Amino acid sequence: MAAPQKWVEAGVKTLSVDEKTGIQALERTAPDLPMQQGKIRCQEFEYIRHGTQCLTANWDVVQGGIIRPTIEPTRTEEDFLAHIRQTVESDPSVKKWAFVCDQLNTHQSASLVQWVASLLHSNIELGEKGKSGILQNKETRAAFLADDQHPVYFIYTPKHCSWLNQIEIWFSILARRLLRRGNFISTQDLKEQILRFIDYFNRTMAKPFNWTYNGKPLSN
């Protein structure tokens, strides 16, 4: 946490970003039975499927809270790029954006590289995807996107360590408090309920996550 807090003074906004895919809009075929003395609330186990949605969300590492979420039926590199662009364009006062994310291919796409390059206002030779230069492969694209001299750059978690990304903690909160026992009559209803929950969370519960695990077993 110390580094992102110092970056704030330099005008850097640090966000943890990822997608929660395949969120199902499940409509229960009968209403819940309310909790009574000595009995827990009972939920109908049969449901109607109404499709799925993908939530892409940014967690503010320093301040806490969800910023500029997007909910779409797909998760493509174009969707991720659109999400990053709308996030950056939402606050022109930020001098530099740092996005913490995993190494999914959509987070290291050619279109993302081309957009970041366009922000540099210089004629950078990017090469050709699959053949040469910065666009050649995931490794070359990731190296370019991770350059902290750019106005928008990405901090990638190690492979198989996406759990280190703080947005995953918030996704578990969303699942426990809304999705697990929710009732959604359509994908639009699902989307609206998620956005209402985000608004409620930001107003009443949002605060920075404080890591308490010191990693001692890993140092042995």
Give per-residue pLDDT as tens, 112-144. Answer: 999 999 999 888 999 999 999 999 999 999 999
- pLDDT for res 45: 78
Distance CA 113, CA 140 (A): 10
What is the DSSP-derived secondary structure letter of residue 158?
Answer: P
Classify domain 43-206 at the CATH class level.
alpha beta
**What 3-state class would DSSP assign to 9?**
helix
User: Which ranges in 159-186 belong to alpha helices (H)?
Assistant: 167-174
Q: Name the token pair of 134.
A: 């910065």
Q: Say yes or no to pLDDT of 218 above 70.
A: no
- pTM summary value: 0.89
Q: For the chain, which residues make up each domain, given as ranges? A: 43-206
- When pLDDT is averaged across residues 184-192 and rounded to a whole number, the result is 98
Distance CA 107, CA 203 (A): 29
Burial label, 213 (beta-carbon count in 10 A; 0-12, 13-18, 19+) = exposed
Question: What are the phi and psi torsion angles at 109 (to 5°)?
Answer: -85, 160
Q: Say yes or no to pLDDT of 191 above 70.
A: yes
Q: Name the token pair of 170.
A: 């918030």
Residues making up the chain, counted from first to last:
220
- When pLDDT is averaged across residues 201-206 and rounded to a whole number, the result is 97
20-24, 153-157, 215-219: segment of lowest average pLDDT? 215-219
- pLDDT for res 173: 98
**Residue pLDDT, tens place only, 55-77:** 999 999 999 999 999 999 999 99
